């Protein structure tokens, strides 16, 4: 199947899948949103600018897992295993990846796909090498090849390498493999752990996915 046709099928699957999941999971989304508001002052959703396909900036959505205004605190944007800013409910949401569910809206909007490299921060993307910019050729994903091959157990540089492998080898079949492996990762919790200390630059991570801050 030609790549252009495969990409069209991928987008159609994203739209249908995201719409169905949002409809089916709407009660769960509502419960989590209320729980976040009740257990910690602030909005239920965390919004942050990320770089999408071609470097275009979009606003990523997540359930808030840290205290309000955490990124502006002295500890900065990055979070760690013993980070006191992570709420009790936030730890549960991170461990189960339920905090990522609002990104179904990003998929429906066309900002993201179910499968692809995790979206990075714009100022990180500005420092990419020419080779690393290939990471932006496809829509970023909720899950990706790096997330099913080590997740937070591998350094940032290795995640970039895996994302570039995904771009070079991309096919609908590879996406299907990633989805199946993602289910296994979610069931085992492998790689979900956060970095242990502040200042470990090899762990410039979003907590569970790629090199980006979390909240």
Q: Global pTM? A: 0.84
- Give the C-alpha separation, 15 to 50, whole Å: 20
Half-sphere exposure of 142 (CA within 13 A, CB side): 24
Q: Are residues 152 and 192 in contact, defined by beta-carbon separation less than 8 angstroms? A: yes
Per-residue tokens: 204 = 């410039």
pLDDT of the residue at 73: 56
Q: What are the distances in angstroms from CA 17 to CA 8, 27, 81, 196?
A: 14, 17, 33, 36
Give the confidence band of 191 by pLDDT, cuts at 50, 70, 90.
Answer: low
Nearest to 199 by CA among 78, 71, 84: 78
Residue 213 confidence (pLDDT): 45
Q: How far apart are CA 31 and CA 33, in angstroms?
A: 5
Q: What is the pLDDT of residue 208?
A: 40
Q: pLDDT tens-digit profile of 50-59?
A: 999 999 999 9
Radius of gyration of the chain (CA): 16
Residue 214: pLDDT over 60 = no
For residues 66 and 34, which has the higher predicted lDDT (pLDDT)?
Answer: 34
Question: Which residues are CB-contacts of 215 (< 8 A; sequence separation ≥ 6)?
Answer: 46, 48, 62, 64, 65, 66, 70, 71, 77, 79
Mean pLDDT of 21-42: 97
pLDDT above 70 covers what percent of the chain? 82
Q: What is the model's pLDDT at position 201? A: 40
Alpha carbons 149 and 22: distance in angstroms, whole number: 27
Q: What percentage of residues in the chain have a pLDDT greater than 90?
A: 70
pLDDT in tens, 125-163: 999 999 999 999 999 999 999 999 987 778 888 999 999
pLDDT tens string 64-100: 999 887 665 555 556 666 778 889 999 999 989 999 9
Average pLDDT, the chain: 86
Whether the pLDDT of residue 171 is over 60: the answer is yes
pLDDT at residue 84 in the model = 80
Quote the pLDDT of residue 199: 39
């Amino acid at each position: 199947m030609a790549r252009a046709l495969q990409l069209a099928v991928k987008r159609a699957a994203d739209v249908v899948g995201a719409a169905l999941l949002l409809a089916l999971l709407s009660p769960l989304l509502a419960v989590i949103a209320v729980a976040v508001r009740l257990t910690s002052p602030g909005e239920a959703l965390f919004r942050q600018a990320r770089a999408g396909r071609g470097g275009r900036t979009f606003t990523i959505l997540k359930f808030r897992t840290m205290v309000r205004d955490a990124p502006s605190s002295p500890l900065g944007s990055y979070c760690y295993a013993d980070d006191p800013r992570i709420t009790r409910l936030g730890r549960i949401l991170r461990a189960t990846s339920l905090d990522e569910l609002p990104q179904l809206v990003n998929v429906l909007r066309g900002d993201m796909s179910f499968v692809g490299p995790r979206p990075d921060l714009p100022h990180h993307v500005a420092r990419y090498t020419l080779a690393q910019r290939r990471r932006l050729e496809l829509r970023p994903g909720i899950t990706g090849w790096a997330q099913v091959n080590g997740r937070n157990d591998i350094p940032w540089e290795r995640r970039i390498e895996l994302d570039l492998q995904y771009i070079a080898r991309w096919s609908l079949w590879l996406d299907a493999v990633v989805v199946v492996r993602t289910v296994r990762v979610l069931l085992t919790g492998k790689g979900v752990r956060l970095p242990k200390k502040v200042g470990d630059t090899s762990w410039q991570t979003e907590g569970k996915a790629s090199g980006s801050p979390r909240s």
